[in-house]
Structure 1
Amino acid sequence: GLVDILCEACERLKWKEPSKIQRETIPVALSGRDIIGLAETGSGKTGAFALPIIQALLEKQTKLFALILTPTRELAVQISEQFEALGASINLKCAVVIGGVDLNTQKLMLEKRPHIVIATPGRMVDHLKHTKGFNFKTLKYLVIDEADRLLNKDFEKEFDAILSAIPKIRNTYLFSATMTKKVAKLQRASLNDPVKVEVSNKFQTVSKLKQKHLFIPEKFKNIYLVYLLNEIGDKSIIIFCNTCIHVQEATLMLRYLGFSSIPLHGQLSQNQRLGVLNKFKSKEKSILIATDVASRGLDIPHVDVVINLYVPMHSKDYIHRVGRTARAGRDGESFIFVTQYDVMLFLKIEEQLGHEIEQYNPIEDEVMVYMDTVNKAYIMAQQACVEELLFCCCNFMVFPSFNYF
């Protein structure tokens, strides 16, 4: 049901055929219905809502036509890139409204009345309060992406403020990997007789993902990591940690050992975060070490392997993390390091998945060959991080001199 100009745009992006969620969603969206889209991560949800919105825009030609809300800055930038790529031939204008970027620069963008605004909730509320003359009176579409995350307590007040500032007569698309109680509540409050499009009936990983776990002592975790990286070889890898300091330590340790690693976490400035992602996307760096700021929505096609160096506190976060590989029908592999302190969390992950994760058993003697070298590199990394933190405490800054690139 898409017009030729959008079909041609899909061909330019090498989208040869629609994904399951796109095949189910696009005809319903084109008919003018509200939508609840439930699909696993990496299923092509952005295209499912972007294509119908652009087609409607071709008919209406209205500024400030759609608002896309996302939980993370990186996902907002990525969605904007997809909208601009699909709308390149019609001169589609997008504005990305996120924290970490100069507020006045964003005000100028909004004053030009772009067709599509992609925003994180907090910064969007800032503009609704403080940007004179800005409003959403012409808004026709609201998209709530990663709704299960957006509807938690972190965003509740901002979300309510946005809903009260936009027209009640509009189309609303809600996309989530799972139907939580809060998603169901929003359905009742904000959607008009929606069509539920569900291409997976439970929160799960894709079939082409090969998952393995390593059960190891905590004190040997870094040694097994270095062994595994050497076994994997020259591939594109994302390593997930639970805290910013873990990311810093792992990045420095691997650099001392000659690996091409780069960090991504919430303590970086927005320009640093975008720079890191560009280095990784361009394959200039082969290992991205990140907190959960990289776990949702990011579409980097060439990611071969995801390593959970630390078990996430919530089982659903594991599924989002490993969803960074094996995307759009490609193959992928994931590993999770389970120590004596992580058993209960790991069992909850297996319960969520509905199956056991295969165990990976390297030969211990081959792993311990790396022990002395890895321990020395880790001590150096810890010392460097302590020096950085001391500098930060004296100067009221966070990691100011770390060479991220």
Structure 2
Amino acid sequence: MTTELTKSTSLEDESPVVQPETETAPAQTFRELGVIDSLCEACENLGFSTPTPIQARCIPIALQGRDLIGLAETGSGKTAAFVLPILQALMETPQPLHSLILAPTRELAQQIARTVEALGATISVRCTLLIGGMDMMPQAIALGKKPHVVVATPGRLLDHLENTKGFSLRQIKFLILDEADRLLDLDFGPIIDKLLRLLPKRKTYLFSATMSSKVESLERASLSDPVRVSVSTKNQTASKLLQSYSFIPHKFKDVYLVHLLNERTGQMGILFTRTVHETQRLSFLLRNLGFPAIPIHGQLSQSARLASLNKFRTRSRNLLIATDVAARGLDIPAVDFVLNYDLPQDSKTYIHRVGRTARAGKSGIAISFVTQYDVELWLRIEDVLGKKVDEHKPEKDEVMIFAERVSEAQRRAIMALRDMQEKDTKGRGGRHKKRTRDDMDKEDN
């Protein structure tokens, strides 16, 4: 972690860069950061005792009225770092439609809205959530009640601006772009450009895990003399994350999976796959073997995705099988381990996946399956991490005890998958739909 205060000298990027300073003791309370008593009380009610580094460095700058760029690793507490300053500003100058928060996915938007409502509970903040996959009419009615904060995905927000009578952004005082790199990766750029043209002069906070060239372009278009705060190291994973890999034969991948899950019975885990097909197949396979697994991916309906997340959060299912729809932004508490059943195609995705555990100072475990076809990819990930990851070698005889049961479960899973695909094809009439703004609010997995 860099320890000096530096200033960028690039002509394209002249925002001051604030890095951690060794001579200044970190704030121990939100009150020390300048947060008002009612919001400090809300933090205490939520168990936020000590500010995280991104909160400690962003909140004082935001309270000074500066535009802000916050760069931090996943699970660092970025949401409270921007929610607390906008709520405090709202307390000082109350008005409807005070702040707009944009997020790339429906699940992240829902998570942010919950945080706004929880932190704003002591000051009666009204928050409206605008996301695709849901009926627009109740959302339009909620907008008619003039909420203080709107949390939205870009596509659904633009739908309301074009179709909901009386709704505009002319009064907005604060704009927050969360997971800005992901917003741009999902091709929301043209929609965001259109939204920026509709917004008045306002304070803007941009938060991101990475600072890509696209994000830098967005910074120049949307922020005024911003301060850049970085508390992350490039390609950093959490300090309390224990990482390992298992080198296994591809044809026995499912058998090794069942052996591993059998050893971790009762633990909360997220299993990452590369495709929707594998996500569904594994969920059928594991259910056939008695494991409480549930899938989440971009082709599920919004209600199904919500149901999967709620079941996982409430522990009625302790295994979530996911494509990278769950790799960014979701704050799912108490995840004991992450398994890369399929390796991601790049190291950045690996870091975001394993960031689903060992969050907010807690410990966690990340395990990766590496087959004979994945060696080069895994070596590239290790190279970016800057270290060799420990190898975990299960006893082959112990693993193969499960082979016969797994083989039967595989057969049944394939049959169930075929049945589901046939029903899906009939339901869609075999036609391809045009991509809509609602579709853009999902992840393309």
Q: 1:350 aligns with which of 362, 365, 382?
A: 382
Q: What is the rounded CA distance, in whole Å, between the counterparts of 1:387 and 1:111 in structure 2?
A: 44
Partner of 2:313: 281
What SS does the corresponding residue of 1:289 show, helix, strand or coil?
A: strand
- The reply on whether 1:96 has 2:96 as its aligned counterpart is no
Residues 111, 134 of structure 1: 8 Å contact kept: yes
Indicate the SS of the match to 1:262: strand
Q: Which residue of 2 aligns with 1:368?
A: 400
Q: What pairs up with 1:59-138 in 2 under 5 angstroms?
A: 59-138=92-171
1:19 corresponds to 2:52: yes
Amino acid at match of 2:64: S
Match of 1:309 in 2: 341
Aligned match of 2:436? none
Q: 1:338 and 1:254 mapped to 2: Cα distance?
A: 20
1:291 corresponds to which of 302, 309, 323: 323
Q: Which amino acid aligns with 1:77?
A: Q
CA contact (8 A) 2:276 2:323 kept: yes
Q: Give the alignment partner of residue 416 of structure 2, picking from 379, 384, 387.
A: 384
TM-score by length of 2: 0.87
- For 2:238 and 2:52, the matched residues in 1 are separated by 13
* Alpha-carbon contact 1:42-1:299 (below 8 Å) kept: yes
**CA distance 1:314–1:89, shift in 2 (3 Å):** same
Q: Give secondary structure in 1 for the equivalent of 2:245.
A: strand
Q: CA deviation at 1:242?
A: 1.5
Query: Which whole-Å deviations, capped at 9, do the CAs of 1:191-240 have from their partners, x for residues lacking one?
Result: 11111111013132111101111111211111110001111232111111
CA distance in 1, matches of 2:160, 2:382: 43
Further displaced range: 382-391 or 15-24 = 382-391
1:402 is matched with none
Q: By how many angstroms is 1:320 displaced?
A: 1.1
Instruction: Give the Cα separation in 2 of the matches to 1:295 and 1:377.
Output: 27
* Aligned position for 1:240: 272
Name the Cα RMSD after superposition. 1.3
1:185 offset after TM fit, Å? 1.5
Alpha-carbon offset, residue 397 of structure 1: 7.2
2:345 aligned with 1:337: no
Distance of 2:191 and 2:378 partners within structure 1: 33
Q: 1:403: which partner in 2?
A: none
Match of 1:314, as an amino acid? Answer: D
Q: 3-state DSSP class of the match of 1:151? A: helix
The answer as to whether partners of 2:275 and 2:323 remain within 8 angstroms in 1 is yes
Compute the displacement of 1:153 (Å).
5.5
Once the two structures are overlaid, the 10-residue window that deviates more, 318-327 or 350-359, is 350-359
Identity of aligned residues (%): 54
Q: Report the counterpart of residue 396 of structure 1 in structure 2.
A: 428
Partner Cα separation in structure 2 for residue 152 and residue 274 of structure 1: 23
**Contact persistence 1:178–1:203 (CA under 8 A):** no
Structure 2 residues without counterparts, runs of 5 or longer: 1-33, 431-445
TM-score (norm 1): 0.95
Displacement of 1:394: 2.2
Q: What are the Cα deviations for residues 347-405 of structure 1, in whole angstroms up to 9, with x where unaligned?
A: 2322222222221111111111111111110111011101111222223179xxxxxxx
Which residue, 209, 213, 219 being the options, matches 1:177? 209
Distance of 1:257 and 1:247 partners within structure 2:
16
